[in-house]
Amino acid sequence: MNYFAGIDVGSLSTDVVILDERDEILGYSIISTGANSTDAAEEGFGKALTAAGLGRGQVKGIVATGYGRVSVPFADRKLTEISCHSLGASKLFPDTGMVIDIGGQDSKVIRVGPEGKVLDFTMNDKCAAGTGRFLEVMAAKLRVSLEEMGDLSLRGGGEARISSVCTVFAESEVVSLVAKNHPKEEIIRGLHRAIVSRIWSMVQTVGVYGEVTMTGGVAKNKGVVAFMEDKLGKPIHVYHEPQIVGAFGAALFAQKENRM
């Protein structure tokens, strides 16, 4: 049996997937990227190998992706996140026509064709609003964890209006809502609405085609997914570990190359 690795060095998390030649995920890891991308790639690779019960020498091909892909000296090839998220998502959910990847530092909306081919995409990497960073800033301000934000926002009730599109101004709005004792749940709903409307304008640029799959860490937030489903008027596919979809796609590319 041959084994392959995909390493996605993101701005926030480094995600590694170990794959066999039958497309089976044998092990994976998700760690924080921290200050050194090369160290994170090394550590994440080691952890994923341990989870898979394999040694480094057994891995036949390695593809690196993500923002920090240039810092993975042991990768055989480097590919963009756009290609890797598309291939990963379409392997997991074969009718995927659109991928929405919301990471810590940027967000991407990709139109995907058959077999995960990229047909079109748009990306926001200029502004924190519409990225996971926006939610991190607000979670810290509200003293809630990222993990609980989704559930809190789904707890019925009203919704605070957040009118600023800018993270810094939205943060001031949150401070003033907190000062007026506005319920946290309603503020979080308002924040989720705000991030979804940012992403929605990107969705409209690309156009909605086929089934929609969300990847990246923000897909773990059930509130954001629910608001996005509302906007789309249809359900969204989310893999149980949405952060590893890009690394899975990278591993699939590594496997494809070695087959030729």
Ligand X SMILES: Nc1ncnc2c1ncn2[C@@H]1O[C@H](COP(=O)(O)OP(=O)(O)OP(=O)(O)O)[C@@H](O)[C@H]1O
103 binds Mg ion (CB under 5 A): yes
10 binds Mg ion (CB under 5 A): yes
The CA-CA-CA angle for residues 111, 247, 105, to 5°, reads 70
* Interface stretch with Mg ion, choices 87-95, 98-106, 151-159, 224-232 (CB under 5 A): 98-106
In the list 71, 83, 86, 243, the residue contacting ligand X (rule: CB under 6 A) is 243
* Interface stretch with Mg ion, choices 100-108, 128-136, 181-189, 233-241 (CB under 5 A): 100-108
* Interface stretch with Mg ion, choices 10-18, 53-61, 139-147, 162-170 (CB under 5 A): 10-18
Q: Which of Mg ion, ligand X, none interacts with 254 (beta carbon under 5 to 8 A by kind)?
A: none
Cα separation of 71 and 107, whole Å? 21
Sign of the Cα torsion 217, 170, 223, 117 reads: negative
* Interface stretch with Mg ion, choices 86-94, 102-110, 134-142, 171-179 (CB under 5 A): 102-110
Do 15 and 104 touch, CB atoms closer than 8 A? no
CB nearer to ligand X: give 97 or 103.
Answer: 103
Starting at the edge strand that comes first in sequence, how are the strands of the sheet with 107-112 ordered? 118-124, 107-112, 96-102, 211-215, 236-238
122 binds ligand X (CB under 6 A): no
CB nearer to Mg ion: give 54 or 252.
Answer: 252
Please give the residue ranges that form the binding site for ligand X (CB under 6 A): 10-13, 66-67, 103-106, 132-133, 135-136, 146-147, 216-218, 220-221, 243
